[in-house]
A = this chain, B = another copy of it.
Amino acid sequence: MIALGDVQQAARRIDGQAHRTPVIRSATLDELAGARVHLKAECLQRAGAFKFRGAYNKLATLPRGRDVIAYSSGNHAQAVALAARLQGRRATILMPADAPVAKLEATRGYGGEVISFERSSDDREAIASALAAERGLELVRPYDDPLVMAGQGTTALELLEQVADLDVVVVPVGGGGLLAGCATVVKALRPGIRIVGVEPEAGNDTALSLAGGARVNVGVPSTICDGLGASEPGTITFEVNRRLVDEIVTVSDEEVVAAMAFLFERIKLVSEPSGAVGVAALMSGRIGPPTGPVGVVVSGGNVGAAQFAELIGAEHAAALPN
């Protein structure tokens, strides 16, 4: 479990290293949502996603000379690699052999040593733990770690400073680290604010888990939201979120593509699928009628131009008459 003080301490650790990302407004989105909407643009964060906050905070607590290892096919890999480089540590990153070349290259570009594993047959946690023990590395988990959660919570700390009168805060949910960190901040500072998590329909493990009161494993979800593909909530994140989160809603992949296109065309902002679920939930009316302003975390922007073109092209083609 974490407390507000942990997030405030994280904010001091990442100060000057992570970007204080801007909050962006759109009159068109306000009309669509029927509320004043404030987008917290974590797609403009270093390494392209909020993940840098948690990774940097975790690494900043390690003794000098301690190197790190992480497993991730996506934003956590890049975040750990960049945070390690900035702190003069070496980073070993376990990535699936079929990870997108762009993500492999980005991770290497930040100085990370990439080790491949077979997604279908290998147990990445076991490999990571074995390598950590063998090489004396610190394993940096993507969400189920209080220091990582506290780092992610700095997103909400900034948002509450940037916007005075929020009524609802909307946060994407994968393993639940960003949601847990943000909920901790929001409920400590402004308990009246409703906190809503958003999952892809196919990966609704947190919705099911919170509804049933115990962690549910939904297997590997089939969704374009590759950053929200956790099979089940983390053990620590679940304990936080079951206490603090008001509601979980889900969105379809089609709604996510529409939100990505809206962010592109009207806000001129690039969001990856996972980053756009909050806007998708707003645009499709999944967030109940807000009585006041809504803060939405656009959590990441790591989508290739060609991948975006494919997603939008497929949507576009689907919209054409037969």
Contacts and interface: CB of A to CB of B under 8 A. Distances in A.
Most chain B CB within a 10 A radius of its CB, from A22, A260, A268, A309: A268
Contacts of A270: 264-265, 268-270
Contact of A308 (B301, B304, B312): B312
Nearest to A270: B268
Q: How large is the interface on A (under 10, 10 to 19, 20 to 34, 35 or more residues)?
A: 20 to 34
Contacts of A303: 265
A259 B84 CA distance: 29
A316 interface: yes
A268 B309 contact: no
Nearest to A257: B305
A305 B269 contact: no
Nearest to A44: B268
Contacts of A102: 265
Contact of A48 (B43, B268, B269): B268
A315 to B, nearest CB: 8
Contact of A264 (B44, B305, B310): B305
A304 B268 contact: no
A312 B301 CA distance: 17
Interface of A: 22, 43-44, 48, 102, 260-261, 264-265, 268-270, 301, 303-306, 308-310, 312-313, 316
Which 10 pairs show the lowest CB-CB distances between chains A and B?
A: A309-B309, A268-B301, A261-B305, A268-B270, A309-B312, A306-B316, A309-B313, A305-B312, A264-B305, A43-B268
